[in-house]
Amino acid sequence: MARLNNKIALITGAARGIGAAVATCFVEQGATVIITDKNTEAATQLCEKLGENAHFHLLDVSQESHWQQVEAFVKAQFGRLDILVNNAGITGFLEAAGPHDPEHLDLESWHTVQRTNSDGVALGCKYGIRLMKASAAASIVNISSRSGLVGIPAAAAYAASKAAVRNHSKSVALYCAQQNYPIRCNSVHPGAILTPMWDAMLGEGAAREAAIAGIAADIPLGHMGNASDVAYAVLYLASDESAYVTGIELNVDGGILAGSSAAPKSN
């Protein structure tokens, strides 16, 4: 039996990478999925690929007015929400001028990262809770990062924003339990997952292959992960199989955080 039968799910930043892998996995497992993103073209193409159980809605997670529009859409079309995956996130390397280190950070670049990664998750949880109170059993899964648990010298804003996601997830979990809402909340912490987010850091051709090999050398399992590795972790937390699990962080990092090594250069 499909693990998400009759579930209504919404995924942010779902046009590519981890978000697209989660959306694909959820549809395969029986869910109706609302794919949200700013990238209309890629998100629409994904919906067409996934079929009638995938629906697109434009969403800039940093804009509360966009969340209000999504809330109205979900209420009108489905009446409730069972699963929310707050996946949208940026490193800031491409989206902001920088620099991003603690000594020289550019404040507007810092705010650019926080607006998407931290504010976006806070708004997602706010409107998710409002939609999920009508569910019999609901789950919020917030995508943080390995960088939410360790420092990143050259990406201070990114690391801080992902740490905020981890902590806010616990606050949401406790709040929903306190209010007797049928809503659980957990965070997932990917590390060394080969997605388009890495492209700017890895380069192309032989240099890219060398960079990937260098990263893999520091991973206990010996290779970078892929988006489906994260999707299956999210699937567990989204499903009723994890009914007694709330407020945790689930690491999907090939064993990196099990030990210690030099300070990481990226997520």
Contact of 227 with 20, CB cutoff 8 Å: yes
Residue 22 carries which side chain, given as an amino acid letter? V
This prediction has a pTM of 0.95
Task: Render pLDDT for 191-218 as a digit per residue (tens, 0 to 9).
Answer: 999 988 777 678 888 988 898 999 999 9
| Residue 171 confidence class, pLDDT cut points 50, 70, 90 | very high
For 119, the 3-state DSSP assignment is: helix
Q: Which of 166, 177, 152, 182 lies closest to 82, judged by CA?
A: 182
Mean pLDDT of the 43-55 span: 98
| Contact (CB, 8 A) for 233 and 22 | no
Task: Give me the pLDDT at residue 1, please.
Answer: 74
For 20, residues 6+ apart whose C-beta sits below 8 A from its C-beta are 14, 46, 227
Order of all β-strands in the sheet with 249-252: 54-58, 32-37, 8-11, 83-86, 138-143, 183-190, 249-252
Residue 211 has what pLDDT? 86
158 catalytic per annotation = yes
CA distance 170 to 168: 5
Cα–Cα distance measured from residue 36 to residue 177, given in angstroms and rounded to the nearest whole number: 27
**pLDDT tops 70 at residue 264:** no
Diameter over CA atoms, the chain: 54
pLDDT tens column, 117-144: 999 999 999 999 999 999 999 999 999 9
Which among 88, 184, 89 has a CA at the least distance from the CA of 141?
184
Q: Are 31 and 8 in contact (CB under 8 A)?
A: yes
Residue 197's pLDDT is: 77
At 260, the pLDDT band (50, 70, 90 cuts) reads low
Catalytic-labelled residue, pool 158, 181, 232, 244: 158
